[in-house]
Amino acid sequence: MAGAGISTPSGIPDFRSPGSGLYSNLKQYNLPYPEAIFELTFFFQNPKPFFTLAKELYPGNFKPNMTHYFLRLLHDKGLLLRLYTQNIDGLERVSGIPASKLVEAHGTFASATCTVCLRACPGEDFWAAVLADRVPCCRVCTGIVKPDVVFFGEPLPERFLLHVVDFPVADLLLVLGTSLEVEPFASLSEYVRHSVPRVLINQAVVGTFAWQPRGRDVVQLGDVVHGVEKLVTLLGWTEEMQDLMRREREKHPLHQDSTIDSLIKPSSSES
Ligand code: OAD
Ligand code: ZN
């Protein structure tokens, strides 16, 4: 199970970290409250803040870090049953984990749908508008096009139901870089069998690791990359890990040297 904390080492802020998290840095958009950026009612009144975020997360702006590649290595070794992620940055896909092994529980920017006629919008149309700071509109009915990111109150993708078959058969649960504050995702951490070790690698002890800990829980506090590195060393996989990262990084050089800072600190000309 993964959350925004696995992508902060790639330069993408998480949501809830005080000071650096996205939710503490949206004041200039006059949102009634930070979560409004992911609420449909607000989106239809003012879609701009959401599309500014979308532009920042444009595929190619960021690259996976060792955490993503560690999960990819688990897959290469036939050890990854499934990766359940809350992230919408798409870095799991970029790291080479196949779609069949992924559950993008809060959706993805990889596809987009018209909010009026529900037709799928071609990616190139959607991104052309977003990159030009225009609100993307449907070719057919002119309705606003929204990427298939799950907003608060929207149902999760059907693939999320895979948890019903996956969690009872898992024999290890890794929980990486999430506050475990958003349901129904957070509760997945309780669905593995009680005999199964749960390993949390995170800045803070969160969710049921804090309020309903189990005897076989392992908690590694601190930076997620540091924690993963430690695990990789213990497993004797350091060289394989480095080889994989070298190969993959040659395949995916950054398209732009951009950071999400422009969302957090917009130029003074923006309202
Ligand atoms: P949060 O921002 O709530 O939590 C991120 C967690 O990662 C926190 O516990 C941080 O302390 C920790 N963290 C951050 N950087 C870290 C690092 N370098 N090393 C170790 N830990 C680190 O993000 P999520 O749990 O993913 O919803 O949030 C869940 C959902 O809330 C998101 O998917 C999003 C948001 O509303 C939607 O997009 C619909
Ligand atoms: Zn339409």
Pocket test for ligand 1, best of 12, 17, 22, 175 (most atoms within 8 A of CB): 17
Give the position of tokens 């997945």: 188
Distance 119 CA to ligand 1 centre (A): 31
194 catalytic per annotation: no
The active-site residue, picked from 106, 163, 194, 226, is 106
Distance 22 CA to ligand 2 centre (A): 30
pLDDT digits (tens, 9 = 90+) for 195-211: 999 999 999 999 999 99
| 261: pLDDT strictly greater than 80 | no
For residue 264, the Cα-to-chain-centroid distance in whole angstroms is 18
116, 84 in Cβ contact below 8 A?
A: no
The ligand that comes nearest to the alpha carbon of residue 114 is 2
Looking at residue 146, its pLDDT comes to 96
pTM of the model: 0.91
- The fraction of the chain above a pLDDT of 70, given in percent, is 92
pLDDT digits (tens, 9 = 90+) for 154-173: 999 999 999 999 999 999 99
pLDDT digits (tens, 9 = 90+) for 116-165: 999 999 888 899 999 999 999 999 999 999 999 999 989 999 999 999 99
Q: Which residues contact 45 (CB under 8 A, 6 or more apart)?
A: none
* 253 confidence band (pLDDT: 50, 70, 90): low
Residue 247: other Cβ atoms inside 10 A: 11
The DSSP secondary-structure symbol of 40 reads H
Atom of ligand 1 nearest to the CA of 3: 26
The ligand that comes nearest to the alpha carbon of residue 65 is 1
Q: Euclidean distance between the first and final Cα of the chain, in Å?
A: 37
